[in-house]
Amino acid sequence: MAEIEYVRPVNLKDALNFLWNHGEDTKIIAGGTDVMIDVRSGALDKKYLLDISRMDELKGIELNDQGLCVGAGVTLSEIYSSDLLESNALALKKTAYNFAGKQIRNMATIGGNVANSSPCGDTLPALSVHRAKALVADKKSTRLVPVEEMATHAYISSLSPKQIIIKFILTPYQDGFADFQKIGRRRELAVSRISMAVFAKKDKEGRIAFLKFALGACTPVPHNMELMEKFLTGKTPTRELIWEAGGLLAQKMIEITGRRSSTIYKEPAIQGLFMRMLYPVVK
Amino acid sequence: MVNIKFKINGQKKALNIHDDMTALAVIRSLLKLTGTKEGCGIGECGACTINVDGKAVNSCLMLGAQLDGTTVVTVEGLAAKDGLAPVQKAFIENHGVQCGFCTPGILMSVNALLQEIPDPGHEEISKTLAGNLCRCTGYSQIFTSVKEAARLAGQGDQHG
Ligand SMILES: Cc1cc2nc3c(=O)[nH]c(=O)nc-3n(C[C@H](O)[C@H](O)[C@H](O)COP(=O)(O)OP(=O)(O)OC[C@H]3O[C@@H](n4cnc5c(N)ncnc54)[C@H](O)[C@@H]3O)c2cc1C
Ligand code: FES
Ligand code: FES
């Protein structure tokens, strides 16, 4: 195999131009924490490595009239230290807290996490909770894609080889309870087996007034579970209610994936993790 | 081949490297700075940790070409002419080193931490070390060493 050629366009326009002509032969590299594994093992069968890690167009976190915009090139460390995300997308910020080790967080980008289309991409549940859309561009057009549609199957991205994710546009939610939880082999480094994120708000009477919930990792693509929203909204969260909701969630997971050998472990684990995550809202 | 220019441990370098080389290979094989270790090669052990523009990163997962234009510090760059850096002294005195294989990586993680947070608490130290595996010490002495390093650095035992 011929040696891989490294290219670093100076701006997004040049990068999109390059991909328009050579997309099929090109692998985009941002933080490299997924791509470098393949570069090192020789599994990468592309001619070009296109470095987008320094592109200003992909950086920055801001709240504007489009919504809460998070650049595809924003690193997990930047997410972790963002005050804007603390007050407008706490579940995403909490995701960064248990994402790999610090060295990885310093390089890994949110765009790379989503584009890699791993079912265990940790940023997906929180993005889904915030009804995030990815702004995706090629040389000739841009479009907004809901994050749940960024992967068609596990590890199969819906991006064309000519496209780059520019940013994610989230619906901001303030002043509520938010969390991200995952189960993996070891908290920091393992890939998640089960992951979930939530945002919830209670009214003055202590009932759940607003809830968004998403499940990741144990299904091939992330799911925003409107069923949980319907089941819990308007109710007073008690231990029993949350437990029941967790059971419902586990059933839904089985509906999506079918019964597998791992179901016997995942079914109670999902219910338990849901209970643990939502316990703080029990009055 | 790609041309890269960067600064490492205070020295300017201009190199012509293979496009698919890792930063770790550039540092160890081309520059012969073998203090930085290769453990797992896949981002899990932290033995290859270096500081790039002040941030701790795994050099095994960084593309060498991405070093272009950066400022790098490896373990060889910690000590000043007049002696070891506070973090190095603290690790020696508090038995933070046993076999030593993890040590260069840990020192570089801690170096970046202390630049960001001069007086880190237990949680911050723990979050920092989560990406550095040590099979020998059991970490307790490492925590003590980091706290001592922060104290020494705070006392003005500064280094270049
Ligand atoms: C030790 C270790 C621990 C890890 N822990 C976790 C963890 O806890 N949770 C987790 O979710 N992941 C984890 N990962 C996986 C990885 O770090 C993440 O998926 C990371 O977010 C990838 O981002 P990156 O910038 O490094 O992507 P890269 O490796 O640069 O790219 C990943 C993929 O996305 C494509 N791509 C990148 N940016 C764009 C863009 N803007 N537009 C279009 N395509 C793009 C690339 O072509 C490639 O296919 C871990 C990895 C390692 C090595
Ligand atoms: S050698 Fe780089 S993390 Fe193990
Ligand atoms: S001292 Fe031996 S691995 Fe840490």
Of the listed ligands, the closest to the CA of B98 is 3
* CATH code of the domain covering residue A102: 3.30.465.10
In this structure, the strands spanning B71-73 and B2-8 are parallel
pLDDT score for A187? 45
Ligand 1 nearest atom to the CA of residue A33, by list position: 26
Asked if B115 and B69 sit in the same domain, the reply is no
Specify the pLDDT at position A117. Answer: 80
* The one-letter amino acid at B144: T
Pairing of strands A142-146, A177-184: unpaired
pTM: 0.95
Same domain, B57 and B26: yes
Shared domain check, A156 and A185 = no
- Report the CATH number that the domain containing residue A40 is assigned in CATH: 3.30.43.10
Enumerate residues lining ligand 2, CB below 6 A.
Answer: B 38-41, 43-48, 58, 60
Q: Do A102 and B109 touch (CB under 8 A)?
A: yes
Based on the fold, state whether residues B52 and B108 are members of the same structural domain. Answer: no
Does the C-beta of A35 come closer than 6 Å to ligand 1?
yes
Ligand 3 centroid distance, CA of A269 (Å): 35
Examine the domain organization and report whether A81 and A115 are in the same domain: yes
First vs last C-alpha separation in chain B: 33
- Ligand nearest the Cα of residue B104 is 3
Residues B65 and B98 in one domain: no
The answer as to whether B160 is a domain residue is: no
The set of protein residues with a Cβ atom below 6 angstroms from ligand 3 is: B 97-103, 134-137
Q: Hey, of A40, A102, A109, A116, which one would you mutate to test binding to chain B, going by the most B CBs within 10 A of its CB? A: A102
For the CA of B99, the closest atom of ligand 3 is 2
Q: With CA atoms as reference, report the closest residue to A36 among B109, B80, B48.
A: B48
Residues B90, B147, single domain; the answer is yes
Considering its fold, how many domains does chain A have in total? Answer: 3
Mark yes or no for CB contact B63/A6 under 8 Å.
yes
| A148 and A250 share one domain | no
Same domain, A81 and A119: yes
Is B80 inside any structural domain?
no
Q: Which of B30, B53, B75 is the last residue of a domain?
A: B75
From chain B, pick out residues whose CB is under 8 angstroms from the CB of A29: 63
Domain end position, chosen among A153, A170, A187: A170
Nearest ligand to the CA of A112 is 1
In A57-209, alpha helices (H) = 76-80, 83-88, 90-97, 102-105, 110-115, 123-129
Best CA proximity match to B103, nearest among B124, B134, B74: B134
User: Is B22 a domain residue?
Assistant: yes
Instruction: Supply the CATH number for residue B52's domain.
Output: 3.10.20.30
| Residue B24 parent element (H or E) | helix B23-25
pLDDT at residue B78, as a whole number:
97
Given A141, A170, A199, the domain boundary residue is: A170
Tally the domains of chain B: 2
Kindly state whether residues B96 and B141 are assigned to the same domain.
yes
How high is the pLDDT of residue A146? Answer: 94
Give the domain extent around B146: 86-154
Residue after which a domain boundary falls, among A124, A152, A170:
A170
Contacts of residue A278, defined as CB under 8 A and 6 or more positions apart, other chains included, come to: A198, A200, A237, A242, A245, A246
3-state helix, strand, coil in chain A (%, to 5): 40, 25, 35
Which pLDDT tens digits describe chain B residue by residue (160 residues)? 999 999 999 999 999 999 999 999 999 999 999 999 999 999 999 999 999 999 999 999 999 999 999 999 999 999 998 899 999 999 999 999 999 999 999 999 999 999 999 999 999 999 999 999 999 999 999 999 999 999 999 886 555 4
For residues A152 and A154, what is the distance between their CA atoms, to the nearest angstrom?
7
Last residue of one domain, picked from the residues B75, B106, B123: B75
One domain for residues A186 and A262: yes
Residues A28 and A68 in one domain: no
CATH number for the domain that contains residue A203:
3.30.390.50
**CATH number assigned to the domain comprising residue B134:** 1.10.150.120
d(CA A222, CA A118): 10
- Say what the ipTM of the complex is: 0.94
Sequential pLDDT tens for chain A (283 residues): 468 999 999 999 999 999 999 999 999 999 999 999 999 888 999 999 999 999 999 999 999 999 999 999 999 999 999 999 999 999 999 999 989 999 999 999 999 999 988 777 899 999 999 999 999 999 999 999 999 898 877 778 889 999 999 999 999 999 999 999 998 765 445 566 789 999 999 999 999 999 999 998 777 777 778 889 999 999 999 999 999 999 999 998 888 888 877 788 888 999 999 999 999 999 7
- 3 state DSSP class of A221: coil
Report if residue B159 sits inside a domain: no
What's the domain range around A37? 5-51
CB contact under 8 A, A100 and B131: yes
For position A184, what pLDDT does the model report? 76
Q: Which residues pair with A252 in a beta bridge?
A: none
Does residue A275's CB lie within 6 angstroms of at least one atom of ligand 1? no
C-alpha B47 – ligand 3 centre gap (Å): 10
CB A29 within 8 A of CB A137: no
Last residue of a domain, one of B26, B47, B75: B75
Which residue, among A6, A39, A45, A97, would best test binding to B if mutated, counting the most B CBs under 10 Å from its CB?
A6
Residue A186: per-residue pLDDT = 52
